[in-house]
Amino acid sequence: MNNKFLISVLIAVIFAFTEGQSQEKLVSTGHNPVCPEQLKNLKSSLLLSLPFIDDFSGKSIYPDPNKWTNNNAYINNSYPINQPGYGVATLDGIDSIGNIYQYATIDPYRADFLSSQAINLDLGADSTVYLSFYYQAQGLGDAPSPTDSLVLEFYSPGTQSWNWAWSSAGHDSQDFKLVLLNINGATYLQEGFRFRFFNYASLANTYEPGLKTNSDHWHLDYIYLNNNRHYQDTIIQDLTLVESVGSLLLNYSSMPWEHYKTAGISAVKTLFPIHIQNLSGIRHYYTPVFTIEDLSNADSRYEITLQPEEIRSFERLNYEAPFNYGFTSDSQDTASFSLELNLQPIEQDLIPGNTALQIIQEFGNFYAYDDGTAEAGYGLVGEGASNGRVACRFENLVTPDSLVGIDIFFNRSYDNANQKYFNLGIWNEVDGKPGELIYQMNGLRAEFDKGLTSFDSFKLDTAQLVPSVFYIGWIQVSNDFLNVGFDRNTNKQQNNFYTMDGVWKTSSYEGSLMIRPVFANKSKKTGIEDVFLLEKQDQIKIYPNPASSYIELNYPETWNNAQLFIIDIYGKYVFTEDHIRNQINLPALSTGTYFLVLKNANGMTHHQKLLIIHE
């Protein structure tokens, strides 16, 4: 879902283990990672004419200021399930810049508002004015409790008062429901009529402060106010895309540009998805066009026109279209591409703009499974969690490159209660699970110092040459819930592991941990090398390299009696030495690339590529 970093989540089912003392847990996100600079100067003096309609398919994460007077609602396509069209307005327990309301309590409180601009309903005794909308409770967020609610009020210009019009108590239904309300009488049929939605939310009543997060989600779509309607006018005459094409990479949502240039088209999908909904009562005909453009080159354009198709009335289509494209660009360190799917329908409908969607495919210096949006918060909590470890599996497509950092997205809990210390860890792979801990960096915590749009970046004190398959994650030092971002729209459950008792288990939750390995990404053009903090590696000399039957080591006293490991490119340990010496005789190793790892008594590690060549 590209660069629309927003948020929310759900208090999920608990998976208990080790006699119920500890828990792997998923909870609501604590904030929307939004860009404050996107906040708009709202126009509160507009007077709108009928019809009023909003399907929330625009590019902004805030409500359209030409239709709405405030920006509490979050416009997104990541919270809802089976939404009528692309984009909804979500009301939850956080404010317009993504913080939990300061007055939030475990008792219901008024949270988000979605308030319309003034509308001219000076239509005499017209009785054909109706307001309709779709709403859903929970979705991929948190189910509102029965004491929470979604409320709709109408504003009377004559009495200058807001009056109750409709409400729904909290529940956990996953269906979108249609509401149709008649607006008549002199109280509302005036110039200056307005309507607004708001929700009552409540914090979780829990013993663990880190679990007090965002909650009670409601999603609104296709808000439509017009006259010349009737009590059976429940059909929205609209054809719409429901999802964007998403990332076109085979296994990742993003990867280092330098690594992609090595992997090439083998890292790209051969199919892209198309998700369409016909909400109207007529058949629609369309000819999809898929376009890719390199944003650094205005003259670049790849376009494929698919076969004309048709979609029956009230039908939803989900299918895949084949294509063959390898991303190419003159960019050196990073690259960005625009991906657009346009249905090009023949018939005009109610909202023409929602039949074309664009996302940005980014290539930076990191691998990512997540789409940048946290629908949940993941972590370990409870007695025994201080022994817990969480690890995420990655495949490094360019093994000589150096892992120089790890980015982690942390959701904010109420009063930043999850700002606790932890240790970073890197593991190799043994039998399809995390194996030996090959690197550890201690004393870290979420700082939230880059605002609400960013991951926390942790630079490794020593760059690491990791094997082709490796795991990154955290080692807990307390029972506190860390609340790491969890993307529920991108399911990489098979890559997420945790342990409390030394036995690694696959996570019970579907989704992706928002944790990313960052590589040096050396530029061939500029010669830039991200080699911060490599001085410690320079203190250790290993030669000859390439080697054949032995190696010589020159190291400072702090490395006396360190352990030595040699790992092949598949992560398998092929040689170990409990105490290093100045000369190490090697076993009969096949010609190839290996990784030499040293670990000293202080917990420091040294990694270096070792070439074995036999004459």
DSSP 10-44: -----EEETTTTEEEEEE--S-----GGG------
pLDDT greater than 50 at residue 36: no
DSSP H helical ranges for 411-555: 535-538
* Distances 362 to 156, 248, 492, 590 between C-alpha atoms, Å: 48, 10, 19, 38
Q: How far is CA 572 from CA 105, 467, 562, 597, in A?
A: 52, 9, 20, 12
Predicted confidence (pLDDT) at residue 543 exceeds the cutoff of 60: yes
Predicted pLDDT at 234: 94
CB contact at 8 A, 392 and 464: no
- pLDDT tens-digit map of 451-486: 544 789 999 988 998 999 999 999 998 888 898 999
CATH of domain 31-226: 2.60.120.260
Of residues 520 and 429, more confidence is placed in 429
CATH match for 376-519 among 1.20.1250, 2.60.120, 1.20.120, 1.10.10: 2.60.120
> Which two structure tokens, joined as six digits, stand for 329?
């660009």
CA–CA distances in Å: residue 548 to residues 380, 530, 554, 589: 46, 30, 18, 8
Lowest mean pLDDT among 26-30, 68-72, 499-503, 572-576: 26-30
The CATH number for 535-612, chosen from 1.10.1240.10, 2.60.40.2470, 2.60.40.1930, 1.10.10.10, is: 2.60.40.1930
Residue 15 phi, psi dihedral angles, 5° rounding: -105, 110
- Tens of pLDDT, residues 200-233: 998 876 666 666 666 789 999 999 999 999 999 9
Whether 278 and 385 have beta carbons less than 8 Å apart is answered as no
Average pLDDT score over the chain: 85
pLDDT score of 29 = 64
Q: How confident is the model at residue 39 (pLDDT cuts 50, 70, 90)?
A: very low
The CATH class, in words, for 257-363 is mainly beta
- Return the pLDDT at 28: 63
Q: Which residues contact 126 (CB under 8 A, 6 or more apart)?
A: 184, 189, 227
Residue in the block written with tokens 């026109």: 305
* Digit-coded pLDDT (tens) for 315-325: 999 999 998 88
Is the C-alpha dihedral spanning 275, 277, 283, 284 positive or negative?
negative
pLDDT in tens, 403-430: 999 999 998 776 777 788 899 999 999 9
Looking at residue 450, what is its pLDDT?
55
Please report which confidence band the pLDDT of residue 601 belongs to, taking 50, 70 and 90 as the band edges: confident
Q: Is the pLDDT of residue 167 over 80?
A: yes
Q: Are 531 and 402 in contact (CB under 8 A)?
A: yes
Does a cis peptide bond (omega within 30 degrees of 0) precede residue 51?
yes
Secondary-structure breakdown of the chain: helix, strand, coil percentages, each rounded to the nearest 5: 5, 40, 50
Instruction: Please work out, in degrees rounded to the nearest 5, the angle formed at the alpha carbon of residue 412 by the alpha carbons of 385 and 34.
Output: 145
How many whole angstroms separate alpha carbon 68 and alpha carbon 50? 14
Mean pLDDT of 158-180: 93
Residues 68, 168: Cα–Cα separation, whole Å: 22
Does 501 score more than 50 pLDDT? yes
Q: Rounded to whole angstroms, how far apart are CA atoms 49 and 44?
A: 15
pLDDT grade for 355, boundaries at 50, 70 and 90: very high
Distance CA 169, CA 165 (A): 14
pLDDT above 90: residue 492: yes
Residues carrying CATH 2.60.40.1930, the chain: 535-612
Residue extent(s) of CATH 2.60.40.10 domains in the chain: 257-363
What residues contact residue 135 under an 8 Å CB cut-off, 6+ apart? 150, 168, 176, 177, 179, 218, 219, 220, 221
Q: Per residue in 435-444, pLDDT tens?
A: 999 999 998 9
What would the two tokens of residue 320 be? 């895949």
